[in-house]
Amino acid sequence: MKRIALFVVLCVLAAAVAVGVQAWRWRERKLKEDARNSEESAAENTAAGRLGLKTPPLPPHPLDRRIALDDALRLEPDRRFLLAARELAGADVAARFSDGRWILSLGQ
């Protein structure tokens, strides 16, 4: 009977050691992965800051957030179109967004 109890205790101890080793390895992998992810994120943030790709934080209210998102993602008029308009008008052309549409102004 003592041998069976000793065998069971050794099996439980071996299982606990195996689980502990796997947990330790998982923790080390997780720490390395977190460090790599933070380095990549820092590099992306640095590059985005240099390129001017960062946008201001969005407001908490959904309607204000929608307006801010529309402003951030709005495409500007094509440069070629503005150059053609300037060439046809013979004066400088300025584009501004107002009331949901683009407005071109001459000679400012």
pLDDT per residue as tens digits for the range 59-87: 899 999 998 888 888 888 889 999 998 99
Section 45-57 average pLDDT: 74
- Is 0.75 surpassed by the pTM of this model? no
> Given pLDDT bands bounded at 50, 70 and 90, which one contains residue 28?
very high
Say how far apart CA 72 and CA 51 lie, in whole Å. Answer: 15
Question: Residue 93 CB: number of other CB atoms within 10 A?
Answer: 19
Identify the bridge partners of residue 98 per DSSP, sorted by sequence position.
101
Contact between residue 58 and residue 71 where contact means Cβ atoms under 8 Å apart: no
